[in-house]
Amino acid sequence: MAFTDPQSVTVSGTAISLPRTGSGESSGIFTSSDGLTQMTVSHAYGRRNRRSIRLTSAKISADPLVPSQNTRSSMSVTLVADVPINGYTVTEEKAVVDALVAYLTASTGARVTQLLGGES
């Protein structure tokens, strides 16, 4: 079963539509019409199963060294679930992912702010 087309993410209160722009046997790529936002979903199978979703955001801004030029900057965020082939059900795996996501978003995202600020 594949992710629906299109996907949508909201960044700073703005919804961004991400139509499917690529797919493979165990992957899917969704890209905004301006090419500045992309979501990649992939799965790798081996001794352990690795499932990942990645959101990449790019923007064009003034170059601080050459003010008359613009430069493209990008960042990405990846969530990876690395699970054994046996031992966990999808429901149990989801519970662990939900726990991490809830931890990061609690208190209006204070833990994410700490992480991005370099705290450990």
Which tens digits make up the pLDDT trace of 62-73?
888 887 899 899
CA distance 18 to 9: 8
With 80 as the cut, is the pLDDT of residue 110 above it?
A: yes
The rounded mean pLDDT for the chain is 94
Q: Which pTM does this prediction carry?
A: 0.89
Owning domain of residue 101: 88-120
Classify residue 80 by its DSSP letter: E
Looking at the fold, whether 80 and 101 belong to one and the same domain comes out as: no
- Do 58 and 98 lie in one domain? The reply is no
Rounded to whole angstroms, the Cα distance separating 64 from 56 reads 22
For residue 68, what is the DSSP state? Answer: T
Is residue 89's pLDDT more than 90?
A: yes
My answer on whether 10 and 33 are in the same domain is yes
Tell me the mean pLDDT in the region 5-22.
96
